């Protein structure tokens, strides 16, 4: 059963990933406790977990802010994710030979991603929750295919929240999201076809394109702090 601290952590993490709490935004126990309708104690515990997860930074004594997204950190994250995700795609594609259900699941996901275009995105809510829910389904299918590689699955899970956060920088760019959907469709098709190297190559291309796009949306160093002071 989840505790008040668990619920506060989940709510604050979601607000940070969605951009509701922007990079550099100050966080106080009193304000967040009132916003979430809980006491200060679970919020304090949630803050400690957010600091450990790298989503919140201590800027000074008793001063917490949402961690900024720096270009160097994003580059390092994508270096790691490229290695992890390429191998995950290879392993998922290899599983198709022994599991028809894996192939069917990724074939279905490929078709759904292929149907995503600017018109479909415009029909989504402003935060593009529908599109990102489809991405989450793809991630879950990939996780399920890694049952024999628990360490790889755990490594991917540990970095996923940060990837989701930087992905959201492109949420107002429907052209990029449509291209991303096509890239996901290519990965899913390669997995469904049981082609490990094509799946890895499609993953590498997708992450390269994603990183290139994210750099165009990253705020310049210190920009969030300037906005905060304004």
**C-alpha–C-alpha distance, residues 22 and 15, integer Å:** 8
What is the average pLDDT across 8-24?
91
C-alpha angle with apex 83: 79 to 89, nearest 5 degrees?
A: 135
Residue 43's CB is within 10 A of a number of other CB atoms, namely 26
Which pTM does this prediction carry? Answer: 0.81
In the predicted structure, residue 224 carries a pLDDT above the cut 90 = no
CA within 13 Å, CB half, 68: 16
Does 220 score more than 80 pLDDT?
no
Task: Kindly state the percentage of the chain with pLDDT values over 90.
Answer: 72
| Least confident segment among 28-32, 148-152, 219-223 | 219-223
Q: Which helix (H) or strand (E) holds 207?
A: helix 196-217
In this structure, what token pair is assigned to residue 199? 């799946």
**How confident is the model at residue 223, as a pLDDT?**
52
Q: What does the block give as tokens for 198?
A: 């094509």
For the residues 27-50, what does the mean pLDDT come to?
94
Strands (E), 19-96: 26-27, 56-60, 63-66
- Number of C-beta neighbours around residue 14 at 10 A: 13
Q: Determine the distance from the C-alpha atom of residue 1 to the mean position of all C-alpha atoms in its chain, rounded to a whole number.
A: 25
Mean pLDDT, the chain, integer: 90
Q: Is the dihedral of CA 217, 110, 17, 146 positive or negative?
A: negative
- pLDDT greater than 60 at residue 95: yes
CA-based nearest residue to 110, from 77, 134, 81: 134
CB 36 within 8 A of CB 70: no
Burial of 151 (0-12, 13-18, 19+ CB in 10 A): exposed
Give residue 230's pLDDT band: very low, low, confident or very high (50, 70, 90).
very low
Instruction: Find where tokens 């899913």 sit.
Output: 188
Asked if 13 contacts 53 with a C-beta cutoff of 8 angstroms, the reply is yes
């Amino acid at each position: 059963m989840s505790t008040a601290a668990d619920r506060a952590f989940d709510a604050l993490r979601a607000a940070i990933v969605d951009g509701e709490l922007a990079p550099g935004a100050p966080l106080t126990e009193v304000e967040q406790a009132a916003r979430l309708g809980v006491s200060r104690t679970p919020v304090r515990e949630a803050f400690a977990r957010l600091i450990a997860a790298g989503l919140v930074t201590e800027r000074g004594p008793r001063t917490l802010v949402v961690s900024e997204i720096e270009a160097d950190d994003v580059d390092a994250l994508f270096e790691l994710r490229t290695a992890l995700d390429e191998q995950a795609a290879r392993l998922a594609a290899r599983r198709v030979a022994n599991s028809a259900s894996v192939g069917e699941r990724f074939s279905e996901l490929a078709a759904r991603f292929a149907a995503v275009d600017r018109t479909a995105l415009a029909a989504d809510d402003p935060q593009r929750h529908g599109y990102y829910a489809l991405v989450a389904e793809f991630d879950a299918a990939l996780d399920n295919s890694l049952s024999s590689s628990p360490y790889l699955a755990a490594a991917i899970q540990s970095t996923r929240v940060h990837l989701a956060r930087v992905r959201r920088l492109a949420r107002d760019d429907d052209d990029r999201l449509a291209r991303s959907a096509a890239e996901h469709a290519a990965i899913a098709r390669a997995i469904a076809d049981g082609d490990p190297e094509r799946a890895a190559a499609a993953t590498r291309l997708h992450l390269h394109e994603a990183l290139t796009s994210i750099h165009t949306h990253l705020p310049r160093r210190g920009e969030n702090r300037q906005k905060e002071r304004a």
